[in-house]
Amino acid sequence: MDKILVIGAGGQLGQCLKTVASRRGITEIVFPSETDANILNQAGLQDLLSKEQPAFVINCAAYTAVDKAEDEVELAKAVNETGAANLAIACAANGSTLIHVSTDFVFEGNEVKLLLEDDIAHPINVYGQTKLDGEKAVIALLKSHFILRTSWLYSEYANNFVKTMLKLGADRDELNIIADQVGTPTYAIDLANAIFDVIESCSDAYGIYHYSNEGVTSWFDFAKAIFDISETAVKVNPIPGSAYPTKAIRPAFSVMDKSKIKNTFNLTIPYWRNSLVECIQKLKENNN
């Protein structure tokens, strides 16, 4: 396989890419430190890509603190838009293909329908807007790009909803979880596998693709599944989002249609609950 460079290697998806690369026997892959691969340092990125000469660059670096972004607008914009632009420019100069990870939060999510790649994106929070602006920058600056929008990412690495629920469930008897926000959890290991499948396809079908696990659920049902699978005894109460106001508004329904990525790359996507079982099993093994 041609050489791959991972930006944001220390984050959740970066760690999953490292795990999956090892499982798949992918050795021509570089995971530079954040210092060496700072997406806000245009000259540094140019130097890094010039030195490594990767055929593919995977961008996992992002500002993802959805509520904090409402206050830290400039920082979110710098990382998610300017950083993406910097990387696209460096890729263009070095002839590299960019795989850029984006989000379902580019959509308003006010309609119960499966979201297609060419549906109008209309973000309702700062995080979503900066990610959409990052997509637009990549599209404008680099022809050879794959933009993968994903949703509700979790894994055995870093901080995420699954690990938070398991921690809270161990400490509390009862939890209130929002039941009127609907989407699809995505196991970051599955997304990492899909990214390598795209790379190995040697396809030039550039553009935007949707990738999450299969199926549909609410945060309440997701939490219930986490506790059921992990055999954690905690009472979970469904509440409306209005009962738990957050600084950033979330899409009410952001289930994405995955037909395009499945058909283009002949992918089989796991069902969300099956992947959750796998993740919780890994977490149990890591704790033993």
Task: Give catalytic residues, as residue numbers.
Answer: 127
**What CA–CA distances, in Å, run from 235 to 125, 181, 208?**
31, 19, 40
Please give the DSSP secondary-structure letter assigned to residue 245: -
**What CA–CA distances, in Å, run from 137 to 11, 26, 45, 63, 279?**
22, 30, 16, 16, 34
Structure tokens at 61: 């670096």
Count of other CB atoms within 10 angstroms of residue 273: 17
Q: Supply φ then ψ for residue 8, to 5 degrees.
A: 85, 35
Determine the longest span between alpha carbons in the chain, in angstroms: 56
For the four alpha carbons of 105, 146, 118 and 133, in that order, the dihedral sign comes to positive
